[in-house]
């Protein structure tokens, strides 16, 4: 399965000022989930110098390795708190981003983002 050079948007949901999105990317050029996590954090900081990391952890999603970053970034000039989950599966990196205004993130994260991310089941693309 060829993965496009540019991320392919799979899904975008929005409700008010909060949103979730998913994309499928080429896998990272580094090997190992820990190295991928550090490279991911560097790439985020290069793209958005205002990014402030509050947590980075190695995780598994539906049995597959992943990295999760939580922090604050600037999206279209507006400060947002984001939970970004990167899962390495089927020769690709699948990304799930969930974001909301910082003052609303805690409640939206608890009631929506965490249950949504826990429900993820992955299958190989057709």
Give all domains of the chain, ordered by start, each with its CATH number: 8-118 (3.40.1000.10)
90, burial (CB in 10 Å: exposed 0-12, middle 13-18, buried 19+): middle
pLDDT for position 2: 44
Q: What is the pLDDT of residue 3?
A: 44
Low-confidence residues of the chain, pLDDT below 70? 1-7
* Neighbour count for residue 113 (Cβ, 10 Å): 21
| pLDDT score recorded for residue 7 | 64
- Reported pTM: 0.85
Q: What pLDDT is stored for residue 1 in this prediction?
A: 42
pLDDT in the model for residue 6? 62
pLDDT in tens, 87-108: 999 888 999 999 999 999 999 9
């Amino acid at each position: 399965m060829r993965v496009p050079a540019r991320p392919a948007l799979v899904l975008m949901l929005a409700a008010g000022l909060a949103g979730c999105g998913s994309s499928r990317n080429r896998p990272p050029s580094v090997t190992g989930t820990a190295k991928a996590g550090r490279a991911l954090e560097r790439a985020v900081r290069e793209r958005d110098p205002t990014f402030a990391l509050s947590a980075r952890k190695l995780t598994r999603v539906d049995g597959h390795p992943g990295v999760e970053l939580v922090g604050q970034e600037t999206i279209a000039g507006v400060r947002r708190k984001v939970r970004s989950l990167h899962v390495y599966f089927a020769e690709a990196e699948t990304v799930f981003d969930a974001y909301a205004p910082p003052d609303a993130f805690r409640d939206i994260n608890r009631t929506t983002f965490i249950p949504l991310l826990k429900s993820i089941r992955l299958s190989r693309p057709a």
